[in-house]
Structure 1
């Protein structure tokens, strides 16, 4: 029994070291989407289609592409601030749809 307990303890030590190494290698924002979905699930007690989509897509991105790597490293508050500017630009009723689209791309 002691040997089994020791092996189990060693596995926990390995797991803790791996987690620490992981946290040192990735930006704190990297898992923010997963943590957000987990919190919604904890609160609601269920998983919605948008949650499932987020969980499936987020880690299925080709993380080796430069844009995906950058996106995963940016805090959600920055992503929302940038996209809010773009959404506001393309929804401006004073601007024609083609012009608004061009301006949105330029943001």
Structure 2
């Protein structure tokens, strides 16, 4: 998003906002969607932890699981969100370092169930 004064920033809305909502909130701003990052393969340890969380919440759809794992491979914020969800679901324990880089030791471990 670019404000009329040239200030640029990214915005994420939850729940999703319509273009009309954003135009009302940011009059005169130029609004362009950011490209979705191309997915990839997550680090095996990351995949195990996220997979344990998906198992814990009963997510079995292969396409959904693949999309989540792909997003985790390229988006550090999504990866951290999934890690927190794994901890909250009891699927992992976590003592996070900062920042969490793909494939870096992340302090997460699959919980014994």
Rg larger for: 1
TM-score by length of 2: 0.23
Is the strand fraction higher in 1 or 2?
Answer: 2
Is the helix fraction higher in 1 or 2?
Answer: 1
TM-score by length of 1: 0.24
